[in-house]
Amino acid sequence: MSAFTATSAVRRDRHPLSDSVYDEVQPPIRPTRRRSSLPVEARNAYAVYPADIVEGVAGDADDLSLVEDPITNSEKISPRTMRRALVAVQPPQQQAFPCWVKIAFWVVAIVVVIWMVVRLILTVMDFCTDVSNTYHYGPTRTTVVSGVFGHNDSPTNQTEIVAVNLHGTLLIQEVPGGDVLKTRTYPTGLMLVGDAAAKTPIILSIKDLNGDHRPDVLIEIPGQSITLKLFNTGTAFTLAK
């Protein structure tokens, strides 16, 4: 008995606290709890505690976060509360732009879209016009009209008037009676202007321009605001503007 008592005393010396006191200071065994997917802030903000624990705990409100008890069915967080908790812990959003900034942005965007649509329409129209002119007047815009002008010609051998847009320069030629060896050239000295000057067609029409009952030739250039006239003298033409 003495030996047993000595050993027990030594152990008591190793543990100054008594068994009852030692048990009191030991932390209670915490029950197993299902881990929530909510952030820590959300769990602390929306945790539900039994009324008796809340009334018995003194101190700051932050101490409540240290109390952990088994969750009962009545203490489970509803999905709506979980969504509110997630929204509560989200960082604050940046301040929205003023109303006039939004209006100005949409006005500029609409103007840009309209400008792009107009440019697209004009581009398509220019392309279609170029294709049509190439079909009717050729790659080098050339226009030919035939008629009887009294220049050694006849209904079977008509005189041909040729207008050529040669790289933006207007060239007028006459082939009397269809005889190429008698070709006459009427220099105009006219240079067409514009981005599409080299692709501008020349329009020729035969009509009496001065009322002398002789057929003349009217030369029109679209987009150039220029009109030339070939007056028939009976044997040749004279160029006038």
Q: What is the pLDDT of residues 178-226, one digit of tens each?
A: 888 899 998 888 888 887 888 889 999 999 988 888 999 999 988 787 7
Domain identity same for 74 and 104? no
**Residues of the domain holding 80:** 14-89
Domain membership flag for residue 73: yes
Domain membership flag for residue 164: yes
Q: How would you label 152-162 residue by residue, b for 16+ Cβ within 10 Å and e otherwise? A: ebeeeebbbbb
Domain identity same for 49 and 70? yes
Domain membership flag for residue 68: yes
Domain identity same for 166 and 236? yes
100-136 pLDDT tens trace: 888 999 999 999 999 999 999 999 998 998 899 888 8
Sorted by sequence, the CB contacts under 8 Å of residue 30 that are 6+ apart come out as 68
Task: Provide the phi-psi class of 179: left if phi over 0, else alpha when psi is between -120 and 50, else beta.
Answer: beta
Check residues 122 and 73 and name the one with the higher pLDDT.
Answer: 122
Domain identity same for 206 and 219? yes
Domain identity same for 144 and 132? no
What's the structural domain count of the chain?
3
Cβ pair 178, 238 in contact under 8 A? no
Domain membership flag for residue 6: no
Domain membership flag for residue 22: yes
